[in-house]
Amino acid sequence: NNLNYSTTRTMSNNFSSHSSNSSMTDRTSWVALASSAALCATAVGVGLFLTRSLQEYGVEGTLRYIWEGDAFPPNVRAHVDALEDAEIARSLQESRIHSMEAALELARLNSVDDRRSSKEIVQQWMEYYATETGGVGLSLERALADVSDKLDKIAAKVDGVVVSDSDGNEFIQQIKKRKKLLSKTIVLDMERCDALMASYQVLREQGGNQ
């Protein structure tokens, strides 16, 4: 009996030791696998970052971004910031123009069914625009004038972005291209705003003669 007990206990200890060793081996394997996966993911991320950075900023800009946290030298950064601010400001005015156009289109569509007069179309246009803006802000007439004024000021700021060869050759063409595209977009916004102002004026005049 003692022999059987001793043998059984020895087998149990051996099994426990083997299970423990196997468990530790499994954990070590999983840790190694997870570490390898993390390293691979990091390597891929770094590779993508470098690829995109080199495509956008070039070698010099990428190195400057890594060491200084900014791909652009200070003089170029001032131009980039000015264009970015102008783009944000233009986007806000474009959104206002879109709301005015949508309100006018709705007023005209309703006038076809009800055969409203020009005066009534203007009234509907103002009401629909107020609904578009949540009833907060300027009236339609003042909003049109405000958008026109703000677009003029944005265009002036964009025109004030002047780059020269001393600003860093690798970024000059990039900034010029961005400025040119923004200027064209602002001109289109101005034309849309002018068309809305003309429509408002004509409808008001026609409404006064009815």
Mean pLDDT of the chain: 75
Q: So what's the pLDDT on residue 49? A: 45
pLDDT tens digit sequence for 193-203:
999 999 999 88
- Average pLDDT across each block of 10 residues of the chain; the chain has 210 residues. List them in order: 48 51 60 62 53 55 52 75 94 95 89 69 88 80 95 96 69 85 97 95 74
Q: So what's the pLDDT on residue 186? A: 97
Give CA torsion, residues 189, 195, 201, 204, to 10 deg: -110
Neighbouring residues of 140: CB distance < 8 A, sequence distance ≥ 6:
100, 103, 125, 126, 129, 130, 200
pLDDT tens digit sequence for 150-162:
999 999 999 999 8
Neighbouring residues of 154: CB distance < 8 A, sequence distance ≥ 6:
86, 89, 90, 93, 186
Its pTM stands at: 0.65
The 3-state secondary structure of 10-79 reads HHHHHHHHHHHHHHHHHHHHHHHHHHHHHHHHHHHHHHHHHHHHHHHHHHHHHHHHHHHCCCCCHHHHHH
pLDDT tens digit sequence for 121-157:
888 899 888 888 876 778 899 999 999 999 999 999 9
Are the beta carbons of 162 and 66 closer than 8 angstroms? no
Which tokens sit at 200? Answer: 């408002």
